[in-house]
Chain A
């Protein structure tokens, strides 16, 4: 536990990739395999199972440190992280524990789950007494199930590969499914991650390949010819807004893996049926989409399928999922990933065309400008833009660019100018800064600056808000929250304005005297009965602060609703 806490602190403190890899390598070189197995699991994104409720931990922390709950809450507001708050308020330890991570997890934390609350409390109290601040922090994260670490899976794979003298891609492939919560990591599984390569070994039949991830293409289309060469060198397809997935057909079975390395086979029985027609030794890369009226449906509908484990006939009929295939990674049991994109594409076409699975169509155009015109029609087709894949590119692993690049050429987000009305403190590195914002638009266009100003005064005077449907009374209607898109400096500046313009505080939330206009971007828009505005937007983020815009020039609910039809 100490060693893992030290690693965590090193990873947390450093922003340099080289330092992180060095710290990881040091850890993997020193840690016993059983501990390293768990460490690799957590670092690669495996979630600890929550073994005791966080409310219990919080209450215990108050008892042990002798502070009232309101004081704990004040601390939490300053820290922005529950586990860190608990670790800091506890009195210094009077013991010392040298137990390894595996023992902690397997013999202490996992058994905790089935114990009665009193016994849980007694155990946690004892453990706190033998741990320093850094270890307590980790312990609470692990018990509470909220462990996250600022290191990418790719980096963990790289460190393991460097340490074991292996190709990082091999480690990545072996690591697929390693973080599946249904199988506990152990020394043997860890050993198999870093074992020497074995030619012709029978891989576990359902293993997918590491996903090749796309990069956003920057810059204007006028520059594409110079930067990317002629379009004829590229395989161009629509960019779908679904769930990236691999369909593995081997040993008479079908497996479906999502990009989060989650095995999701049972959730999409219709896709399993369709993939059963594929020959053994096939792996396809593509997108899971809800398919309606011969086109992809908005992501919001797919979301209704993602969480469901019980699938009624009605749901399957209403929200049918299709697999849109766009790459062939394995054919006849042969790994094709090193083959050029155009070869894989040709093989994919002859395999999928005419079958029950869908084939992502190729878009042909002589010039980038023509492709830009096609891209402009993305929203009407329910797609997010275009994908550009070089005809000679290999299928790489993760975000690497060594083997060629996949570019995503997304359409610009929809945007509106809206008014900042509430602010909440951020978490983690932004704790104690106000960085989480709620935005509003006008329920109708203000007649002039004075009418808008009168609304501001009414809000500042805490007069109750009228019914937004009543257009005779001008008012601001909140419709979205966003917490990203500004630089640290901009956040600091906005934070100062927020503190100076606070009207009321409700717990961590401040209501503000409206004064700032932001351009808010988002990827999609839908009607929603859960929001007062009747609107829900997808992936909202701040594009910029519009200091040039007076309040009365912010957009209206009508303008927002007009986007509903564009998105459909």
Chain B
């Protein structure tokens, strides 16, 4: 039996024949980065390899790094391992890492978005199923209660909420992570309803998206809004860290909402303490996980961050060889922290 192409190490997921890491959480010499979220892309590595289209956001987040890029589908060979990156549909530049060595193919999917409702992510290339022997999958929403509604219904809800608030003269403060979620919201809403104002943590990411050719509606920073009366009909997009902050106080009578897959549950919505919870996720739902795994044609699955134990047991019952890796992914707090330290406008 050929040795595993990816193993767990204290530093992160490691490819022994290629001698490199994938999304390591401790500093290493060579790191392949699936996408620029803080729990996957960390500072301090010697050399970075990532998708070309995601280079802008990666640099926006990590600053000056030694970065080599690949177009989706373009392959390089390193120590006999043939490596290529394939769209994961999660955020701009997100990639699955395909590794081929000695006739064996493994795919590390990072975070990916596949919805049972058949939707894609309008802000990046759609998830591409890649045939492989072993598929390493996330399990953030690895329970059958997570089933995303069709996106058009969801955005119709967001638009209706915004429209009703605008009619009542109150701002609509929609909170979601500044990288990925915010742009998804911007690309999905009906921008004709009113002006769109974004937090200072969101705009640099918007810029990177626009530079990569992603169409987003016009957005303004608070400091760029001359007539404060514009707030009354505005959609304000900001990271969750603004809740209860001085920054948010200027929209004091706003209706607030939170966009996240976690909003699927009543309990989570009520704990969040906002007026509305919109179920919008950049991760695969349960049917999406099942579809993605089936589409790889794999015989073996390794499950990371989320409901690992549940998904492993379920896949085993479906006749697959399944196990899990313990990783340090899936920590939203990291992204929340990134959002918080980024400069906010006066």
* 4 A-B pairs closest in CB distance: A429-B270, A88-B145, A431-B267, A89-B144
A70 close to B (CB within 8 Å)? yes
A231 close to B (CB within 8 Å)? no
CB-based contact A75/B144 at 8 Å: yes
Interface string of B16-55 (1 = CB under 8 A from A): 0000000000000000000000000000000000000000
Given A12-B266, A13-B276, A88-B264, are A429 and B147 also a contact pair (CB < 8 Å)? no
CB-based contact B265/A78 at 8 Å: yes
Number of interface residues of A (CB under 8 A): 28
For B145, give its contact among A68, A89, A428 (CB under 8 Å). Answer: A89
Chain A residues near B273 (CB, 8 Å)? 15
For B310, give its contact among A71, A88, A430 (CB under 8 Å). Answer: A71
Interface string of A49-79 (1 = CB under 8 A from B): 0000000000000000101101100110011
Q: How far is the CA of A67 from the CA of B142 in the complex (A)?
A: 13
Least Cβ distance of A504 to chain B in Å? 16
Interface string of A404-417 (1 = CB under 8 A from B): 00000000000000
CB closest chain-A residue, reference B272:
A429
Given A13-B276, A70-B313, A74-B307, are A79 and B271 also a contact pair (CB < 8 Å)? no
For B314, give its contact among A71, A79, A433 (CB under 8 Å). Answer: A71
CB closest chain-A residue, reference B307:
A74
Q: Which of A1-41 contact B (CB under 8 A)?
A: 12-15
Least Cβ distance of A64 to chain B in Å? 11
Chain A residues near B277 (CB, 8 Å)? 13
CB-based contact A85/B271 at 8 Å: no
Q: How far is the CA of A92 from the CA of B285 in the complex (A)?
A: 14
Given A88-B145, A428-B270, A432-B267, are A74 and B275 also a contact pair (CB < 8 Å)? no
Least Cβ distance of A78 to chain B in Å? 6
Interface string of A269-304 (1 = CB under 8 A from B): 000000000000000000000000000000000000
Q: Residues of B with Cβ closer than 8 Å to A?
A: 143-147, 264-271, 273, 275-277, 307, 310, 313-314, 317
Chain B residues near A85 (CB, 8 Å)? 145
A81 close to B (CB within 8 Å)? yes
CB-based contact A67/B144 at 8 Å: yes
Least Cβ distance of B174 to chain A in Å? 15
CB closest chain-B residue, reference A9:
B266
Chain A residues near B307 (CB, 8 Å)? 74
Among B143, B264, B271, B314, the one with the most A-chain Cβ atoms within 10 Å of its Cβ is B143
A488 close to B (CB within 8 Å)? yes
Least Cβ distance of A94 to chain B in Å? 14
CB-based contact A65/B267 at 8 Å: no
CB-based contact B275/A79 at 8 Å: no
Q: How far is the CA of A12 from the CA of B145 in the complex (A)?
A: 19
CB closest chain-A residue, reference B143:
A75
CB-based contact B147/A88 at 8 Å: yes
Least Cβ distance of A432 to chain B in Å? 7
CB closest chain-A residue, reference B274:
A13
A555 close to B (CB within 8 Å)? no
Chain B residues near A433 (CB, 8 Å)? 271
For B269, give its contact among A13, A67, A70, A74 (CB under 8 Å). Answer: A13
CB closest chain-A residue, reference B150:
A92
A-B contact list, 21 entries, CB within 8 Å: A13-B276, A13-B277, A68-B317, A71-B143, A71-B313, A71-B314, A74-B307, A75-B145, A78-B265, A79-B145, A88-B144, A88-B146, A88-B264, A427-B267, A428-B270, A429-B270, A431-B268, A432-B265, A432-B267, A433-B271, A488-B271
For A71, give its contact among B144, B147, B267, B275 (CB under 8 Å). Answer: B144
CB-based contact A13/B275 at 8 Å: yes
Given A71-B310, A88-B264, are A65 and B144 also a contact pair (CB < 8 Å)? yes
Q: How far is the CA of A427 from the CA of B266 in the complex (A)?
A: 10
Q: Which of A78-98 contact B (CB under 8 A)?
A: 78-81, 84-85, 88-89, 92
CB closest chain-B residue, reference A431:
B267
CB-based contact A428/B267 at 8 Å: yes
Q: How far is the CA of A207 from the CA of B262 in the complex (A)?
A: 47
Chain B residues near A88 (CB, 8 Å)? 144-147, 264-265
Chain A residues near B268 (CB, 8 Å)? 431-432
